[in-house]
């Protein structure tokens, strides 16, 4: 089969890690007789440099025409500390999510046995952790009305949610829970926020359609604490945009490195796959960035295309690299491998999964 994949390498380490994910996809194409046609597209600081626009129109067209989108990372330090910057790289990603309607961001978090010793958290607390975070991605405070008073003394960001925005992701989260441990935790701040109260009401109503799923609620401050104290209590977490952004970075500590967390952003007609990490500017061009989150994002992309055997093989290759310590310095300070060496290892494993000479 032929699949059209839009590739948005983005900024910082984005191009390096995405190139490794592409190696993995090429190896899959070889092994399973698929054909992937890649169309590169610009977004972020590199797009501002080239066109003045963090999300050129052409990029949207390429993404709309693709079967799936693989994205690297976004952001450049020259914009981070400049409160007067007129355009920001991140705006490209936010606009893309909005214009493609990618409302459901799924972030799987698991404690790999091979890395259990690397997490700063106590081993017995995290062994067996397996969480699927469902983060709403196109609403809430990220997209509310922004305002800065003329004298620059007062700023505001509005936060709103509609029942429809809550319902569509809630149904997906309940369905996911049905195929897992049948537990759904809604994370909100319903003791303070009106939007959170609407989330609770709407999700409680929808829960009646899923009697086999146990639903519970947690305020986000408590959830942040529980994530570290007892992450094994979670199965599927459902939450709004900003809370999901924050608790998923927190949850990455369980896995031992943020360089391992992949994500899928799903809409009605499109889907985009990206690591949850940022553009890591200090590491750009040094061949030290961990490509595994991007490679695991490619595995999620394969699953989205219904290529489950293929996705499982990519995931197996990643587990093997963790087992053998064939990893970058964030996971292997003693004997680190470069970004592209890790990518080569993964591609090689995919092509020769049973190679007896691999040690
Ligand atoms: C993420 C990122 C983005 C977000 C930024 C780059 C806009 O942190 O995907 O988690 O906040 O959603
Ligand atoms: Mn984030």
Domains of the chain and CATH, by start: 1-102+267-359 (3.40.718.10), 111-260 (3.40.718.10)
Q: How far is the CA of 278 from the centre of ligand 2 (A)?
A: 7
Question: For residue 255, what pLDDT band results from cuts at 50, 70 and 90?
Answer: confident
pLDDT, residue 257, reads 86
pLDDT, residue 355, reads 84
- Mean pLDDT to the nearest integer, 39-65: 97
pLDDT in tens, 89-101: 999 999 999 999 9
Asked whether residue 250 carries a pLDDT value surpassing 70, the answer given is: yes
Count CB atoms within 10 A of the CB of residue 335: 9
pLDDT, residue 82, reads 83
- Mean pLDDT to the nearest integer, 339-349: 98
d(CA 66, CA 257): 31
Place of tokens 């007062």: 154
Q: What is the ipTM of this complex?
A: 0.99
Q: How far apart are the first and last CA of the chain?
A: 34
Question: For residue 143, what pLDDT band results from cuts at 50, 70 and 90?
Answer: very high
Question: For residue 118, what pLDDT band results from cuts at 50, 70 and 90?
Answer: confident
Instruction: Compute φ and ψ for 34, nearest 5 degrees.
Output: -105, 170
pLDDT in tens, 258-286: 899 999 999 999 999 999 999 999 999 99
Among candidate residues 26, 67, 130, 245, the one labeled active-site is: 245
221 given a catalytic annotation: yes
Ligand at minimal distance from the CA of 107 is 1
Asked whether residue 67 carries a pLDDT value surpassing 70, the answer given is: yes
Counting from 1 in the atom list of ligand 1, the atom nearest the Cα of 241 is 12
Asked whether residue 111 carries a pLDDT value surpassing 90, the answer given is: yes
d(CA 359, CA 352): 13
Percentage of the chain surpassing pLDDT 70? 99
Q: How far is the CA of 355 from the centre of ligand 2 (A)?
A: 38
Percentage of the chain surpassing pLDDT 90? 93
pLDDT, residue 359, reads 59
Average pLDDT, the chain: 96
Among candidate residues 26, 249, 287, 348, the one labeled active-site is: 249
Task: Give the residue, by CA position, lying nearest to ligand 1 atom 7.
Answer: 90
- Secondary structure of the chain in HEC code, one letter for each residue: CEEEEEEEEECCCHHHHHHHHHHHHHHHHHHHCCEEEEEECCCCHHHHHHHCCCCCHHHHHHHHHCCEEEEEECCCHHHHCCCCCCCCHHHHHHHHHHHHCCCEEEEEEECCHHHHHHCCCCHHHHCCCEEEEEEECCCHHHCCCEEECCCCCCEEECCCCCHHHHHHHHHHHHHHHHCCCCEEEEEECCCCCHHHHHHHHHHHHHHCCCCCCEEEEEEHHHHHHHHHHCHHHCCEEEECHHHHHHHHHHHHHHHCCHHHCEEEEECCCCEEEEECCCCCHHHCCCCCCCCHHHHHHHHHHHHHCCCHHHHHHHHHHHHHHHHHCCCCCCCCCCCCCCHHHHHHHHHHHHHCCCCCCCC
- Mean pLDDT to the nearest integer, 66-73: 98
pLDDT, residue 21, reads 98
pLDDT, residue 357, reads 72
Which residues surround ligand 1 with Cβ inside 6 Å?
A: 74-75, 90, 93-94, 245, 276
Asked whether residue 358 carries a pLDDT value surpassing 80, the answer given is: no
């Amino acid at each position: 089969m032929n699949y059209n994949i839009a590739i948005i390498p983005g900024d910082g380490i984005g191009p390096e890690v995405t190139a490794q994910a592409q190696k993995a996809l090429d190896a899959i194409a070889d092994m399973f007789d698929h054909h992937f046609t890649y169309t590169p597209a610009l977004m972020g600081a590199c797009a501002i440099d080239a066109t003045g626009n963090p999300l050129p129109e052409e990029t949207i067209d390429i993404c709309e025409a693709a079967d799936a989108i693989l994205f690297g990372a976004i952001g450049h330090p020259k914009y981070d500390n400049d409160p007067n910057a007129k355009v920001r790289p991140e705006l490209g990603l936010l606009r893309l999510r909005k214009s493609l309607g990618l409302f459901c961001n799924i972030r799987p978090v698991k404690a790999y046995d091979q890395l259990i010793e690397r997490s700063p958290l106590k081993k017995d607390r995290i062994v067996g952790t397996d969480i699927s975070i469902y983060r709403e991605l196109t609403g809430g405070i990220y997209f509310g009305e922004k305002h800065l008073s003329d004298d620059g003394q007062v700023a505001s960001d509005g936060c709103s949610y509609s029942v429809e925005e809550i319902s569509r992701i809630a149904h997906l989260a309940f369905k996911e829970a049905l195929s897992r441990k049948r537990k759904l935790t809604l994370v909100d701040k319903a003791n303070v926020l009106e939007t959170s109260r609407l989330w609770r009401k709407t999700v409680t109503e929808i829960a009646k359609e899923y009697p086999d799923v146990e639903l519970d609620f947690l305020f986000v401050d408590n959830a942040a604490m529980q994530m570290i104290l007892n992450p094994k209590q979670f199965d599927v977490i459902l939450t709004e945009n900003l809370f999901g952004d924050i608790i998923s970075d927190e949850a990455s500590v369980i896995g031992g490195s943020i360089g391992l967390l992949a994500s899928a952003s799903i809409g009605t007609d499109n889907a985009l796959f990206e690591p949850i990490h940022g553009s890591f500017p200090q590491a750009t061009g040094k061949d030290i960035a961990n490509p595994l989150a991007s490679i695991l994002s490619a595995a999620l992309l394969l699953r989205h295309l219904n290529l489950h055997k293929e996705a499982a093989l990519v995931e197996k290759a990643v587990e093997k690299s963790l087992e053998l310590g064939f990893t970058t310095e964030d996971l292997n300070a003693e004997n680190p491998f470069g970004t592209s060496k890790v990518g080569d290892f993964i591609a090689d494993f995919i092509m020769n999964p049973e190679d007896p000479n691999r040690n």
